[in-house]
Amino acid sequence: MPQGQPSVVPDDGLTTRQRRNRPLVFVHTGPGKGKSTAAFGLALRAWNQGWPIGVFQFVKSAKWKVGEENALRTLGASGEGGSVDWFKMGEGWSWVQRDRQFSNEEAAREGWEQVKRDLAAERYKLYVLDEFAYPLHWGWVDTDEVISVLRDRPGNQHVVITGRNAPAALVGFADLVTEMTKVKHPMDAGQKGQRGIEW
C-alpha cells in the first residue's frame, strides 16, 4: 500500500486536492491470476464509499464469475454502501433485445456503446470493464476511440479495464497499470480448477 509523499510534484497547475481526486483509469493485465479479482476487490472499496458501480463483463464464459457477482449484488442490495449494476456480454446486456442473436464481436461493440452512453450520463462512479482488453486486442473495439472517450469523459468517473493483452496505447494512457505475472499455478501440476477458488 503506497503511502507518504509522491516522488515528484508535477507542474500541472492543480492543487494537491484536485490532483488527488482526479478520476483514474486502471489497467490490470499480464498472464498471471488476479486481474479481475483485484478489480472486484477495488469495487469493495468503491461500494464502501457509497459509489454507484457498473460491472460490464466483455468475455462470455461458461462459469462467469458467480462468486463475485453474487457477493457484489448482495452488497448492492444491502441498503448500505453503493449500488451495483452487473451486465454480462451477450446474454446479459440488458439493453439488447433478447430475441436477436449477436456475434461476440457485435456484443462487445454494443457493450462499449453502452459504456459510452453511461460515461456521458455520469451514471456510475466506478466502471469495471472486465476482460475488455480482449476485444481491444482483437480489434473488435477501436483502442484509439476508447482512449479518446476515456480522456474526455466528464465528471469524476473511475474506470478499471482487465484482460491479458492490453494494447500498448492503452497501457500508455492509463494512470495505473499492474501486470500480474504467473510464477506458479496448480494447473501446471495437473490440477483442474475448483469451486470457490476459480469461480
Kindly identify the residues of this chain, within the stretch 85-124, that bind a copy of itself according to CB under 8 A. Answer: none
Tell me, by CB under 8 A, how many residues bind a copy of itself: 80
Cell numbers that stand for 137 in this block: 486486442
Residue 47 found at the interface with a copy of itself (CB under 8 A): yes
Residue 159 found at the interface with a copy of itself (CB under 8 A): no
Residue 129 found at the interface with a copy of itself (CB under 8 A): no
Q: How many CB atoms lie within 10 A of CB 153?
A: 20
Cell numbers that stand for 79 in this block: 441498503
Looking at the Cβ atoms of 36 and 143, the one nearer to a copy of itself is 36
Residue 139 found at the interface with a copy of itself (CB under 8 A): no
Looking at the Cβ atoms of 100 and 195, the one nearer to a copy of itself is 195
Residue 20 found at the interface with a copy of itself (CB under 8 A): yes
Q: Which stretch binds a copy of itself (CB under 8 A): 14-22, 103-111, 116-124, 137-145?
A: 14-22
Residue 31 to residue 183: CA distance in whole angstroms: 10
Residue 170 to residue 172: CA distance in whole angstroms: 5
Q: Which residues contact 187 (CB under 8 A, 6 or more apart)?
A: 193
Backbone torsion region of residue 155, taken as left when φ is above 0, otherwise alpha when ψ lies between -120 and 50, otherwise beta: left
Residue 153 found at the interface with a copy of itself (CB under 8 A): no
Residue 151 found at the interface with a copy of itself (CB under 8 A): no
Kindly identify the residues of this chain, within the stretch 168-197, that bind a copy of itself according to CB under 8 A. Answer: 171, 174-197
Backbone torsion region of residue 29, taken as left when φ is above 0, otherwise alpha when ψ lies between -120 and 50, otherwise beta: beta
